[in-house]
Chain A
Amino acid sequence: DTEVTQTPKHLVMGMTNKKSLKCEQHMGHRAMYWYKQKAKKPPELMFVYSYEKLSINESVPSRFSPECPNSSLLNLHLHALQPEDSALYLCASSQDPGLEQFFGPGTRLTVL
């Protein structure tokens, strides 16, 4: 298995909803990442997990809450989002921190 999977593919939520994005990889990678990508812009780093511990939080608002239940799974919990949070949310993984990153297909999030 050489891919990063993400669910759901699409998500529409209201500003009062709570939802979660899920990312999974079975490549034995020890670093996992969340990125946010707006249209016609490059991905922006949100969080880095290294060996299941949060190592980088790029000043992301607390309405985004990451969780790494085990070395294969990464979740992003969403609560009280704003319409400007609508974007493509990408998960990536790498064998170790500091090596090439492989991206999942993304979750397209729309906040109404």
Chain B
Amino acid sequence: QKEVEQDPGPLSVPEGAIVSLNCTYSNSAFQYFMWYRQYSRKGPELLMYTYSSGNKEDGRFTAQVDKSSKYISLFIRDSQPSDSATYLCACLSGNMLTFGGGTRLMVKP
């Protein structure tokens, strides 16, 4: 079993839809949680970074962490075609970052 599980998709939605991306993790030592966006053949771009359980909002993006159920989510409101990318969740313990497998998102005009 992988330490961080993520549905690979692809997830296809119409423009303007609300997107929900999710990960589960198994290691209780994970303390920090991140979401990265990666366009094809580019480096991952940090979108959200959270520590505690609860919600964190930044523009159209909301990150949610539930440590009791070891579940993390990223919501994208008013999705745009430019949001089409692979989204990677990542969990941090010490200086070790463990990634989920990534979800490929396609937002269709």
Contacts and interface: CB of A to CB of B under 8 A. Distances in A.
A31 B95 CA distance: 9
A interface: dominant SS = strand
A99 B102 CA distance: 21
B32 A100 contact: yes
B46 A104 contact: no
A81 interface: no
Interface residues on A, range: 20 to 34
Interface in A22-57: 31, 33, 40-43, 45, 48, 50, 55-56
A48 B41 contact: no
Contact of A45 (B96, B100, B102): B96
B95 A55 contact: yes
Interface in B72-105: 88, 92, 94-97, 99-102
Contact of B42 (A43, A56, A105): A105
B43 interface: yes
Interface core residue of A41, A97, A100 (most chain B CB under 10 Å)? A100
B43 A103 contact: yes
A106 interface: yes
A5 to B, nearest CB: 10
Contacts of A88: 41, 43
A90 interface: yes
B95 A103 contact: no
Contacts of B54: none
Contacts of A104: 43
B45 interface: yes
A101 interface: yes
A43 B44 contact: yes
Given A42-B102, A88-B41, A100 B46 contact: yes
B95 A42 contact: no
B61 interface: no
Interface of B: 32, 34, 36, 41-46, 49, 88, 92, 94-97, 99-102
